[in-house]
Chains A and B, each alone.
Chain A
Amino acid sequence: MANQRTDLLQGTLELLILNTLARESMHGYGIVQRIHDAAEDLLKVEDGSLYPALYRMEERGWIKSEWGVSENNRRAKFYRLTRAGQKQLEAERANWKRVSKAVTKILQAT
């Protein structure tokens, strides 16, 4: 299975993070676990790569962070989607659908 894991395409991580946070606010570890679980371990994501993406997304105003207490009573930073992030998620979902449709068409044509 390990050699069947796929690297994430550039920019896809942000879409996955936005999509995960659309359900509820979470800390970074929770976000990665949710992505791994949903992808059934088929995607190769280095856990640490999530954080620069989260910081960039907060800089753009798509998400907002707040320190809180985790399930094991440890101080943790929780992220939540903002209105700007919700709009971005809708735009990125639409874009993803367009791209995957185009790639599928090309693959079927050749």
Chain B
Amino acid sequence: MKFEIAGLLTRPNRNEIALEVEDELCFHVEMLERKYLEQGMSPAEAKAAALRRFGDLEKYKRQCEQISRRNRGLRRVLKTLLILLGLGGLIIRLLSSDVHFDHLGDVLIMIAVAGRLLLYVRGLPPRNPECS
């Protein structure tokens, strides 16, 4: 929980996202270059052919960065909300002397736990993969 809250407080680094995207896309171009070199092209020809086949590298890089930033931002907001909800529930539970408020606290904690569980389960691999 401590690490999670610390992680939520640090904003996603723009450069970090850009570097990750660039690393991933460059790996693809490198693999294509390698394939063309093995087919007997010169290094310059292989590079040109790889870039041609990949398409507009800058455009795809920009698109991926945008989606990645949006995705991380949304997840961060969602996780923060769930943590706040859980903490709110816990505080209500600890401080209230009224049974009705206790129930409200329980409901908030349950929503927070169920939300986190749902996020976790959605990310699990499928139960019956089609092939091994």
Contacts and interface: CB of A to CB of B under 8 A. Distances in A.
B123 A22 contact: no
Contact of A47 (B24, B53, B123): B53
Contact of B124 (A22, A29, A83): A83
A52 B63 contact: yes
Interface in B49-64: 53-57, 59-60, 63-64
A75 B130 CA distance: 27
A23 to B, nearest CB: 5
Contact of A48 (B25, B27, B67, B127): B25
Contacts of B124: 82-83
A70 B28 CA distance: 11
B46 to A, nearest CB: 14
Interface residues of A, number: 32
A80 B124 CA distance: 10
Interface of A: 22-24, 27-29, 32, 46-49, 51-52, 55-56, 58-59, 61, 64, 70, 72, 74-77, 80-86
Interface of B: 20-21, 23-25, 27-28, 30-32, 34, 53-57, 59-60, 63-64, 67-68, 70-71, 74, 121-127, 129-132
26 contacts: A22-B130, A23-B129, A23-B130, A24-B132, A28-B24, A28-B27, A29-B28, A29-B31, A46-B55, A48-B25, A48-B28, A48-B55, A48-B57, A48-B59, A49-B60, A51-B24, A51-B28, A51-B64, A59-B70, A59-B74, A70-B27, A80-B125, A81-B126, A82-B125, A82-B126, A83-B126
